[in-house]
Amino acid sequence: MLKAESLRKSFGSGRARVEVLRDLSLEIGTGELTLISGPSGCGKSTLLSILSGLLYPDEGRVIALGEDLGKLDERQIERFRLQHTGFVFQGFNLFPALTALEQVVLPLNYLGLEAGSANRLARMALEEVGLGPRMGLRPASLSGGEKQRVAIARALAKQPDLLFADEPTSALDSQSGQAVIDTLHRIAREHGTTVLCVSHDPRLKVHAERVLTMEDGKILSDRRPASVEETST
């Protein structure tokens, strides 16, 4: 589903150049919630950006759904992200003037869906994340947890093969964060979506099928929490 081979990435120039990823390789299977954890500055978000095609590595390659992302031009990779990937960010990235329903319909319009189909898929996604009664509200009338669930619904409505989440619970209180975690886990389990999440939130480790711990641009450990293994047997 998603494979990285010998990734290297540096930022800066001259003596100030910092190597963020160091010969990093990994494979991620279908329908799993995989957590990437580690201290700030270890390269987590950079890795997520490269795996999702938002950033190119200096060396190495990423194979996603059989496509070598490094061989796609800018237009092709934008189309690939639109058709096959969903993104959830810490800051929600919602438009203040749009209702929850309109937020979710918007990317479906870019896919060229007929208005009725786009509206139906958007409503289904909002119902799935528990926001059916709130879909007519704008962001100012929604809580932080609800805003993040709108963002998840927006990604989910496209029925993506790959869902990338960057610190999706860091701005939320405990209850709202738990609701978001439960939603991400359910999406992986019920939709067969590959969910890759970067987070400092220890609660995610309980729900993740796989936990990758990074340090200094490398994967320090790769494990499957016992609680997940036990529930799957």
Q: What is the CATH number of the domain that holds 197?
A: 3.40.50.300
- Residue 56, token pair as written in the block: 């190119």
Q: Which residue has the tokens 């869906």?
A: 113
Strand, coil or helix: 151: helix
Please say whether the dihedral angle defined by the alpha carbons of residues 132, 136, 137 and 138, taken in this order, is positive or negative. positive
Per-residue model confidence (pLDDT) at position 226: 60
Q: Which residue type is seen at 57?
A: P
Per-residue model confidence (pLDDT) at position 209: 85
Q: d(Cα 209, Cα 232) in Å, to the nearest integer?
A: 9
Please say whether the dihedral angle defined by the alpha carbons of residues 38, 184, 206 and 223, taken in this order, is positive or negative. negative
Q: Are strands 2-11 and 18-28 parallel, antiparallel or unpaired?
A: antiparallel
For the CA atoms of the chain, what is the radius of gyration? 18
- Residue 155, token pair as written in the block: 């990604």
Per-residue model confidence as pLDDT tens digits over 120-131 = 999 999 999 999
Output b/e per residue, 11-36; b: 16+ Cβ within 10 A.
Answer: eeeeeeeeebbeebebebeebbbbbb
- Residue 147, token pair as written in the block: 């805003």
State the total domains in the chain: 1
Do 226 and 209 contact (CB within 8 A), yes or no?
A: no
Residues of the domain holding 168? 2-232
Per-residue model confidence as pLDDT tens digits over 180-215 = 888 888 888 888 899 999 988 777 777 788 999 999
* Residue stretches of the chain with pLDDT short of 50: 228-233
